[in-house]
Structures are given as structure tokens and as C-alpha cells.
Amino acid sequence: MSIKQQATNHPDPLMGAERRVVICAGTGCVANGAMKVYAAFQEQMRKNNLPFVVELREENDNSGKIGLTHSGCQGFCQMGPLVAVLPDYILYNRVKPDDVAEIVETSLIQNGVVERLLYVEPGTTHACKGVHDIPFYTRQQRFVLGECGTIDPDSLGEYMRNGGYEAAKKAFLQMTPEAVCTEISESGLRGRGGGGFPTGRKWEAARRQNDGKKYVICNADEGDPGAFMNRSVMEGNPHSVIEGLMIAARAIGADETLVYVRAEYPLAVQRMRRAVKDAREYGILGTNVFGSGLNISCEIMEGAGAFVCGEETAMIASIEGQRGMPRPKPPFPAESGLWGKPTIINNVETLAHAVRIIREGAPSFRKLGTPGSPGTKTFALTGHVANTGLIEVPFGTTLREIVYNIGGGITRDDGSIDPDGFKAVQIGGPSGGCLTKDHLDLPMDFDSLRTVGAMVGSGGLVAMNKGTCMVAVARFFMEFTQRESCGKCVLCREGTRQMLALMDDIIDGRADETTLPLLKELALAVQKGSLCGLGKTAPNPVLSTLRHFADEYEAHVKDKSCPAGQCKALLKPWINAEKCKGCGKCAKKCPVEAISGELKQPHVIDQDKCIKCGACLLSCKFGAVEGLQGGQA
């Protein structure tokens, strides 16, 4: 649901106020100055004697006042900081503190619109007034993210006014643990953390354990490069995570829950702690929950940032105070997890979906998605696309729809749209694989992606244009996973190190005819013999790029050239004699005196001396230096 749809479904989106200004206060917008915009609104409202409140409370009389509140991530990160004005559903983008006086005067006093701050779809002149006509929003189905861009994340009252904790109350007072597990199973909900394991089956396995003590853990240790889905839900709707934990606890008979969140997410940690505190004070958490006679606690634990701790057994070890290293399975955590007790671990998005399923029923959830992958999925869309940000679409949506219609198309390095610029998308982060032009019409769901050697993963989508070197991309992810390996098993510890060394040989021009066969053989061995998911999926980016971009690897190895012009050691800069004016500026700037030539005569570059620093490219005003098109300068 979009901001407008969500507000429309809200019993009173203004909560009695005359107007409402919502400042996006997700991490991205905060980094771009959203809180300065928030402060500027307060200043301008005081200056214009406008009555306003910074927290809308149901028990207060807000009539005649303006609500000035903040929200979590509204998704359109490329255009932040974002400011929404209700009930007109105006969305202003890239707002600066200097713009606030005009917004206050035009929208809050004169009931008008500041046209210059509206979003304009690339290639058109149409200024979109709000989310109801911005393609980035209208082509999505925002359920998990719907409230993140509207409600105040620090307001328990607003969450409850929008139906919050009704699902948990239903689970505790109207449903048995078995009934909760059955409802989740019938919904077809699969884990959104990457593996796609049926959630109901996992919960049922823990429910059946005959043990008086059980635990529920929320895996919020989101570590994939470019992924920020879980962080945004915690920042924008923290109570939905707590409610999901409560439902899961009811399902398996647990009385202790825990959120394991990355310490690198300070805003998420802050808002989750505030939400837990408010829920305790209100009596939602604690003893005799909803008068059921049952007790529930929730703790927030900060992880130290080890990528491997996203694996459930490594996470359990970390919580127990041990080094975060995985252990063999079985036994699975549902049988023997935290402190040896039955434990279920679900990620943030999975728990948020569980709330909706219990509240609205399994059939409602199954209306979207595919039979094998029901519901919606959040993706962090980044890279060479016009509209980067956080999106939510039904499973089965094609890659073309995401990249071109929601993402706005592929961009060149200068930001302009390139209609024929698509090269690949890396999906699933270090654990995933590459999708090419041949996969643009592939439905994005668990089963379809598996058929082409890719996976949904946590939901990272990195779009790449034709100027991207796929060998360098594979090396980047290999370096990441090698660095994050816990070192417990030899194949992962040493195998990824040797794979990285082979990738370095390819990029630095040292590879020979034995390198690629050895790289593939080693990748398959690491994939097969590693203990946990990190090692088993570490070779995926290499194997998928070897499969889909074999010609690029061959060019690096046999021709000692990088087709994309990105690998510095393989660049061969030269001076185009037809363009060179003989001004000599390039020779003066060259730090190793590799350029020679007479004044007003074409110059040449000594390849043996050249260090490919790019100084010549920057100094030449005539575009005569070529072979550095990858931007190594």
C-alpha cells in the first residue's frame, strides 16, 4: 500500500489534526539532512504563529493544529529528504531547510503546491503531486513497508490506532498454539531471510518439542552489501517486529524473545529499544499478556557486525557469549537452540508478515504472489538505476518491471538514462548470483530464481550498466565473503582465500590457461564442502559470472584486456593522433614521464613506463587520451 492508500485505510490519518506534515527520518534521509528540515519546519511554524504538535496523541485535542511528525523510510531514497503533506497527499522531494519557508507559506497557509519540489518522471515534464501518481509507488504493493512511511515510529498509540497488537491479542486470546502454526502454514509464508524455508513448518517443529523453556529470536543481523530492508522496518515500524515476535512465541509456547540487531544500525537499535520500553510500560510485554495468564519478555542485543552471525547457529553462539561460528545440523535450533532449548529464528520481514496473516487470515495473504511463493517481498534497489530505494512487490513480479518501471531505467555513469544500458543485476548479495538480459522477464520468486542458479537472498538488488566489469564485481563479493569467513572449516577458510587469489591473478594480468578451470573446480569444492550457508554460497557470484560472462573472463585471461575498461592493470592508454593538438599538458602532468612528443605534434605513451594513473586523461581538453574509458582517472 502507498502512503495515500495506507492513510486512507487509517481510521483517522490526521488523528484529529487539521493537517499533518510527515518528514522521512529513515537513515538515508537523516544522512541527507532530514532533521535539519524538521527543525526548520518548527522554526517557520513558530514564526508564522501556526499551532502545531510534534506528537499526535489520541487523548489530546488536536483540532485546529498541524501535526509535525517523522516517519521511517518512505522508500524513495534517491529523492530524499522527503516531506509528505496530509490530507492533500503531496510529496515533496530533495527538500532542504531553505525550502521550508516556501512550503509552509504555500501548502500550510495558502493550501497550494510548491511545483518545483515535486517529482518529475525522467523523460517527461509531468510533475507528480504525490505518491498516487509516482510510478515508483503506484507499481508497488506496500504492506510490510506501508506504515513505515506514515506512522510515527516512536508512537505506540499511533501503531495501536492503526490496528497494532490486535493480531497478537487474537493469537493469545482466541487461538491455540496449534491454530497459529496452522494459519501460518496455510498462508504459505516462507522465510524472507534468504533460504525460503516454510515458516509454519519451522514453528510447528518447535511447538512439538516437549520442553518447558523455548525461545524466539528475530534475526536483524542484516549484513549483505547494499541491503537495508530489515533496518528500514525496524526504523519505521518497530512495534510490528515486536508483535511478530509475540505471535511466534505464542505459536511455539515461548516466553522469552530477543532481537539480534547489528550495532551498525544505531537508529534501528534506538527505535527498537524505545518500542520495547513503551510496550512494557503499557503492559503489552511482561506478565499476564492481554489477561491470558501468559508472560512475554523481549530484549534487544547488538551484534558486533560479523556477517557469519546471520547464520542461525552462529547467531546462537554469539548470543551465548561464544565466538560466532556455525555448528553442524542436525540438531536444528527448533530442537536444540539457544542454551540447548527449542528456538525459532525468523528475520524482521518474516515476522512482520506473520502479523498481517494472523490479523487478516491466510487466504488474504495468498491473494498476492505465486502459489509457491505467496505474498510480497521487499528489495533494496541500488546501483545504476534512476530510482534507487526500498521497494515491495508481489512475488512473481518480473525483473523488467522492477528495473525499468519502478527503478526508472538503467543510468549511465553520469546519471542520464541509457535505454540499452542494462548489463546485469546481482541479486541476493554475496550469497546470490547474476541475472542478465535473458532474465529480464523471469518472475522473481524462490523457485524461478533457483532454476537459473540465483536466489532471492535477503533482497538486495544491484543493477549494473554496460560499463561494469563483471569480473571485478565477482571479485568484490569474493573479497567480502573471504573476509567474513569465520575460519571454522578448511574449505571455506582456505578455499575462499585461494579463489580470491585467482581472481586477483585474472584482474592483474597474471592469469594463464589453467586459471579459469582451476577457479571453477575450486568454487564447486567450496560450495559442496563448506559447513554453513556463508561458505556454501560464497562461490555463487563467481560461478554465475563465469556462466553468463565467460567472454569477459576470456578477455582478461587471454587478451589481457578488460572490455569494460575497469581493471587498472589491464588498461592500455594511448593518444589518438587525430585528436591530439600537441599542447604538452599531458606530458607535464605525467608523474613517471611516460609521455613524449614535440610541441604541436601528436604525443605518444610509453606502455612500459605508464602506471595507468589517469593524470593524462584529466589534463587533456581534447579527448585525445583513450583506453581509460572505465574512469580509472
Are both 331 and 451 inside the same structural domain? no
Task: Say what the pLDDT of residue 214 is.
Answer: 97
Q: What is the pLDDT of residues 286-312, one digit of tens each?
A: 999 999 999 999 999 999 888 888 889
* 33 Rama sector, left if φ>0, alpha if ψ -120 to 50, beta otherwise: left
Q: What is the pLDDT of residues 405-435, one digit of tens each?
A: 999 999 998 888 999 999 999 998 888 889 9
Q: Where are the alpha helices (DSSP H) in 48-175?
A: 100-103, 135-138, 156-161, 166-173
Residue in 3, 50, 5 with CA at minimum distance from that of residue 23: 3
Mean pLDDT of the region 278-291: 96
DSSP state of 229: H
Contacts of 557-560 spanning 24+ positions with Cβ under 8 A: 557/506, 557/511, 557/512, 557/513, 557/515, 557/516, 558/513, 560/509
- How many C-alpha atoms does 172 have within 13 Å on its Cβ side? 25
**CB burial readout 405-424, b (16+ within 10 A) else e:** bbbbbbbeeeeeebeebbbb
CA distance 481 to 486: 10
384 has a pLDDT exceeding 90: yes
Task: Say what the pLDDT of residue 225 is.
Answer: 80
Q: What is the pLDDT of residues 103-141, one digit of tens each?
A: 999 999 999 999 999 999 877 888 999 989 999 999 999
Does 138 fall in a domain? no
Does 567 fall in a domain? no
CATH of the domain at 10: 3.40.30.10
Residue in 247, 257, 241 with CA at minimum distance from that of residue 358: 247
Are both 388 and 299 inside the same structural domain? no
Q: Which of 421, 446, 468 is the last residue of a domain?
A: 468
Q: Which residues contact 603 (CB under 8 A, 6 or more apart)?
A: 575, 580, 582, 584, 586, 587, 595, 596, 597
Mean pLDDT of the region 579-583: 93
**Backbone CA torsion sign across 395, 400, 403, 406:** negative
11 has a pLDDT exceeding 80: no
CATH of the domain at 358: 3.40.50.11540
Residue in 431, 428, 415, 440 with CA at minimum distance from that of residue 478: 431
Dihedral, 522, 523, 529, 530 alpha carbons, nearest 10: 120
DSSP state of 76: -
Mean pLDDT of the region 612-618: 87
DSSP state of 341: S
Q: Which of 339, 365, 391 is the last residue of a domain?
A: 365
CB atoms within 10 A of CB 345: 25
Dihedral, 394, 397, 399, 401 alpha carbons, nearest 10: -100
Are both 400 and 514 inside the same structural domain? no
Number of domains in the chain: 5
Are both 457 and 481 inside the same structural domain? no
Are both 341 and 251 inside the same structural domain? yes
Q: Tell how strand 376-383 and strand 343-347 pair up.
A: unpaired
Are both 455 and 478 inside the same structural domain? no
CA distance 149 to 84: 9
CATH of the domain at 437: 3.10.20.600
Are both 282 and 216 inside the same structural domain? yes
Q: Cis ω on the peptide bond leading into residue 331 (within 30° of 0)? A: yes
334 has a pLDDT exceeding 60: yes
Residue in 126, 127, 110 with CA at minimum distance from that of residue 118: 127
Does 142 fall in a domain? no
Task: Say what the pLDDT of residue 2 is.
Answer: 46
What are the cell numbers at 222? 542484516
568 has a pLDDT exceeding 90: no
Are both 449 and 596 inside the same structural domain? no
Residue in 327, 308, 141 with CA at minimum distance from that of residue 219: 308
CA distance 518 to 613: 32
Our separate counts of H helices and E strands in the chain read: 25, 20
- Residue pointed to by grid coordinates 536444540: 336
Does 496 fall in a domain? yes
Q: Please report, as a single letter, which amino acid is at residue 537.
A: T
Q: Which residue range forms the structural domain that includes residue 177?
A: 157-365
Does 565 fall in a domain? no
Q: What is the pLDDT of residues 171-198, one digit of tens each?
A: 999 999 999 999 999 999 999 987 789 9
- Integer-rounded Cα Rg, in Å, for the chain is 27
What are the cell numbers at 157? 498509540
CATH of the domain at 596: 3.30.70.20
Q: Which residues contact 420 (CB under 8 A, 6 or more apart)?
A: none
5 has a pLDDT exceeding 70: no
Does 485 fall in a domain? yes
Q: Which of 442, 468, 494 is the last residue of a domain?
A: 468
Q: Tell how strand 376-383 and strand 460-465 pair up.
A: parallel
Are both 213 and 358 inside the same structural domain? yes
Asked if 359 contacts 166 with a C-beta cutoff of 8 angstroms, the reply is: yes
Are both 509 and 418 inside the same structural domain? no
Residue in 137, 163, 203 with CA at minimum distance from that of residue 350: 203
What are the cell numbers at 597? 612528443
Confidence at 267, pLDDT banded by 50, 70, 90: very high
Which three-class secondary structure state does DSSP give residue 265? Answer: coil
DSSP annotation string for 262-284: ETT-HHHHHHHHHHHHHHHHHTS
Does 425 fall in a domain? yes
Phi and psi, residue 68, nearest 5°: -110, 100
Residue 417: C-alpha distances to residues 22, 121, 158, 424, 441 (Å): 31, 12, 40, 16, 20
Mean pLDDT of the region 469-495: 93
Mean pLDDT of the region 361-371: 96
Does 139 fall in a domain? no
Asked if 209 contacts 335 with a C-beta cutoff of 8 angstroms, the reply is: yes
What are the cell numbers at 539? 562461490
Are both 261 and 342 inside the same structural domain? yes
632 has a pLDDT exceeding 50: no
Are both 229 and 214 inside the same structural domain? yes
Bridge partners (DSSP) listed for residue 261 = 220, 302
- How many C-alpha atoms does 432 have within 13 Å on its Cβ side? 25
Confidence at 223, pLDDT banded by 50, 70, 90: confident
CA distance 548 to 525: 20
Apex 366 CA angle, 362 and 367, nearest 5: 125
Least trusted range by pLDDT, from 248-257, 372-381, 423-432: 423-432
**Backbone CA torsion sign across 29, 127, 43, 59:** negative
CB atoms within 10 A of CB 339: 11
CA distance 351 to 230: 11
Q: What is the pLDDT of residues 155-172, one digit of tens each?
A: 999 999 889 999 999 999
Q: Which residues contact 584 (CB under 8 A, 6 or more apart)?
A: 597, 599, 603
What are the cell numbers at 263? 550495532
CB atoms within 10 A of CB 185: 17
CA distance 631 to 469: 12
Task: Say what the pLDDT of residue 4 is.
Answer: 45
65 has a pLDDT exceeding 60: yes
